[in-house]
Amino acid sequence: MEVVVASSIGVLTASGIYLILRLRAFPVILGLAMLSYAANALLFASGRLAINMPPVLSKYGEASYTDPLPQALVLTAIVISFGMTAVLVMVALASYLEAGNDEVNMDAPGTGAADEKAGS
């Protein structure tokens, strides 16, 4: 089971990095979402889940229990990443509506500091 979880975290991380390196806004947002999913899975896997065990110590003093801290961290990270993804989608949508496309073009004339100095 550990191999499956580790492989899925690796695939999510690799696909997230690949999408972040694209020159379009929406694949970058999807890549950031993939990286946050990979981080959440890594946090969740670090919690050492115990099957059919209580999340806290019971009054009977059982020696095995599931650690609730990674679950709380993942829940908080999911909420934060959802909010940040919504903000990034709105910024990318506004950029798309203003420019007409979502391409990140660093070589376009009139956009760089060198073009501003040459124009003055």
pLDDT in tens, 43-97: 888 877 666 776 666 666 666 667 778 888 899 999 999 999 999 999 889 888 9
Nearest CA to 72 among 89, 47, 92, 53? Answer: 47
Q: How far apart (Å, rounded) are the C-alpha atoms in residues 57 and 67? A: 10
Cβ 39 vs Cβ 77: under 8 Å: yes
What does the pLDDT read at residue 120?
52
If pLDDT is split at 50, 70 and 90, which confidence band does 100 have? confident
Domain 2-119 annotated CATH 1.10.3470? no
What does the pLDDT read at residue 31?
94
Q: How far apart (Å, rounded) are the C-alpha atoms in residues 51 and 3? A: 18
If pLDDT is split at 50, 70 and 90, which confidence band does 118 have? low
Cβ 88 vs Cβ 9: under 8 Å: no
Q: Compute the mean pLDDT over every residue in the chain, rounded to the nearest whole number.
A: 82
